[in-house]
């Protein structure tokens, strides 16, 4: 288990899926966690799960595409716990099944605004509070490393997150701040399973994955928690694939 005991962090998009699994894993590993999500009830549910297991958590509603909302959520985290040691920026939108010429500008801009600009806004307000040390993990995607057909806006935004991660890693290394990205392959989140219901999507994804199965949310969360822990103290600026060998 990665040790983050007595540390304080926040996770965006923590009301479900990878974000929820990450918040739960941080709490099990001894951290106090601010659970941020655009859905107030989902954030509260994750928080109650953490508290029921004996952990410390605070539910906060945030829209990562809105600068005021992001600033307020980060500031409330610090006010509640007295500091910030790590952040996992996980919230985002899916956007698939459209070729580029079939997308409206409004749809493209919305996906980029939430996924890329939203990650930028989170980092903008997290980084000054991590001066002197700390870690950020941005949840990108293997779509940030190569093409996913019919997902131009999503892939463009996720590539942008990987680029932001690398620049921030270099710029903030002198302050002892580490910035990394996790790039999951297809993961069996509740959202994915809803989309895949009644199709052969899961079987197909498993068939083209060397390990023969999709990731669980907990497996992606474990990578994020490790990157925020002292065990990864010399790791910064990477885009870590968690994809069962797909990139290979």
What average pLDDT score do residues 12-40 get? Answer: 98
Q: Is the pLDDT of residue 21 over 90?
A: yes
Between 76 and 131, name the one with better pLDDT: 76
- Say what the pLDDT of residue 132 is: 75
Contact 49, 24 (CB under 8 A): yes
pLDDT for position 1: 55
Alpha-carbon dihedral angle through residues 130, 7, 1, 26, given to the nearest 10 degrees: -90
Q: Does residue 234 have an active-site annotation?
A: no
Indicate whether 59 pLDDT > 70.
yes
Q: Give mean pLDDT, residues 20-26.
A: 98
DSSP, res 40: H
The string of pLDDT tens digits covering residues 184-234 is 999 999 888 887 888 999 999 999 999 999 999 999 999 999 999 999 999
Alpha helices in 62-213 (DSSP H): 67-81, 105-112, 118-126, 152-172, 190-196, 201-207
Residue 145 tokens read as: 């490393």
d(CA 35, CA 44): 8
If one compares 148 and 1, the residue with the highest pLDDT of the two is 148
Residue 125 has pLDDT above 70, yes or no: yes
Instruction: Report the candidate in 188, 234, 230 with the shortest Cα–Cα distance to residue 31.
Output: 230
Catalytic entry in 81, 125, 154, 172: 154
Domain 8-242 annotated CATH 3.50.50.60:
no
Query: What is the reported pTM?
Result: 0.96
The backbone torsions φ and ψ at residue 120, rounded to the nearest 5 degrees and listed phi first, read: -55, -45
Rounded to whole angstroms, the Cα distance separating 228 from 135 reads 5
Buried/exposed code over 42-60 (b: 16+ C-beta within 10 A; e: otherwise): bbbbbbebbeeeebbbbbb
Tell me the angle at which helices 152-172 and 105-112 cross, rounded to the nearest 10 degrees: 30
Residue of 47, 5, 12 whose CA lies nearest to 136: 12
Mean pLDDT, residues 53-69 taken together: 98
DSSP label of 113? I
- Residue 180: per-residue pLDDT: 98
Look at residues 96, 102, 73, 97 and name the one whose alpha carbon lies nearest to residue 9.
Answer: 73
Q: What is the mean pLDDT of residues 26-51?
A: 98
How far, in Å, CA of 84 to CA of 32, rounded?
10
Domain ranges of the chain: 8-242
- Helix, strand, or coil here: 1? coil
pLDDT one-digit tens code per residue, 1-10: 578 999 999 9
Task: Check residue 96 and give its pLDDT.
Answer: 85
What is the average pLDDT across 12-39?
98
The average confidence (pLDDT) of the chain is 96
């Amino acid at each position: 288990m990665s040790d983050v005991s007595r540390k304080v962090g926040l996770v965006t998009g923590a009301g479900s899926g990878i974000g929820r699994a990450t918040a739960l894993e941080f709490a099990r590993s001894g951290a106090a966690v601010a659970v941020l999500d655009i859905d107030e009830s989902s954030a509260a549910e994750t928080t109650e799960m953490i508290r029921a297991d004996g952990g410390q958590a605070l539910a906060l509603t945030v829209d990562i595409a809105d600068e005021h909302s992001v600033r307020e959520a980060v500031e409330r985290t610090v006010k509640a716990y007295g500091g910030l040691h790590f952040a996992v920026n996980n919230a985002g939108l899916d956007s698939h099944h459209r070729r580029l010429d079939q997308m409206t500008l409004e749809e493209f801009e919305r996906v980029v605004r939430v996924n890329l600009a939203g990650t930028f806004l989170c980092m903008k307000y997290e980084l000054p509070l991590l001066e002197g040390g700390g870690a950020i993990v941005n949840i990108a995607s293997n779509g940030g490393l190569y093409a996913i057909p019919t997902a131009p806006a999503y892939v463009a935004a996720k590539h942008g997150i990987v680029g932001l991660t690398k620049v921030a890693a270099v710029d903030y290394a002198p302050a002892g701040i580490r910035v990394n990205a996790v790039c999951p392959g297809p993961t069996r989140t509740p959202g994915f399973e809803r989309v895949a219901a009644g199709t052969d999507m899961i079987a197909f994804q498993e068939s083209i994955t060397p390990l023969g199965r999709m990731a669980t949310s907990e497996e992606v969360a474990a990578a994020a928690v490790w990157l925020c822990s002292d065990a990864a103290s010399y790791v910064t600026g990477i885009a870590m694939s968690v994809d069962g060998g797909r990139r290979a």
